[in-house]
Amino acid sequence: MGLLDKEFSDGNIVIVKVDDLFNWARLSSIWQLGFGLACCAIEMMATSASHYDFDRFGVIPRNTPRQADAIIISGTVTLKMATRIKRLYEQIPDPKYIISMGSCSNCGGPYWEHGYHVLKGVDRVIPVDVYVPGCPPRPEALLEGLLKLQEKIRNESLRKKSA
């Protein structure tokens, strides 16, 4: 992406591929839906706070799915909540991205056998882009997950969503 910064200093014209421009814009301002489910949400909030500062990657929590680009599933997805998550996901306009944070939303976590009320992985209802392991993952791990998602968006093309 060094292309853009260099071009700015020389003149008023920037020449860039439309794919690169769109990807750059998208990956630099991933607005996430303000949405937390369990203890992972505490780590997600810590990531948003000043010490880890999610905002330096352009991640800002939005209060409605209609203004969001991404949703971080941060915690245990119960069957009751799964129906709501599906609805929230459908309300997010395209292009939309999903980070599954923590063991619970990855695969059911500690509830995998006796959790009669837990969905064993949020990918059973919505398509996940990045899985962040941990129980709960530290903010560093979530940041790593976000960088992975940015990497994924950087290699997209208008013709095909996922690289």
108 near other proteins (CB under 8 A): yes
Q: Closest approach of Cβ 79 to other proteins, in Å?
A: 5
Q: Closest approach of Cβ 117 to other proteins, in Å?
A: 7
Instruction: Print the binding letters for residues 15-54 with other proteins: x by CB under 8 A, - otherwise.
Output: ----------------------------------------
Among 82, 88, 128, 141, binds other proteins (CB under 8 A): 82
Q: Closest approach of Cβ 73 to other proteins, in Å?
A: 15
Instruction: Quote the tokens at residue 16.
Output: 């860039």
Contacts 24+ apart (CB under 8 A), 90-96: 91/64, 91/65, 91/66, 92/33, 92/65, 92/66, 92/68, 93/66, 95/26, 95/69, 95/156, 95/161, 96/68, 96/69, 96/70, 96/71
Q: Is residue 71 within 8 Å of 96, Cβ to Cβ? A: yes
Region from 25-33, 34-42, 112-120, 145-153 binding other proteins, contact rule CB under 8 A? 112-120
Strands (E), 24-118: 32-33, 61-62, 70-74, 97-101
Q: Where do contacts with other proteins occur on this chain (CB under 8 A)?
A: 79-80, 82-83, 107-108, 112-113, 116-117, 119-120, 124-125
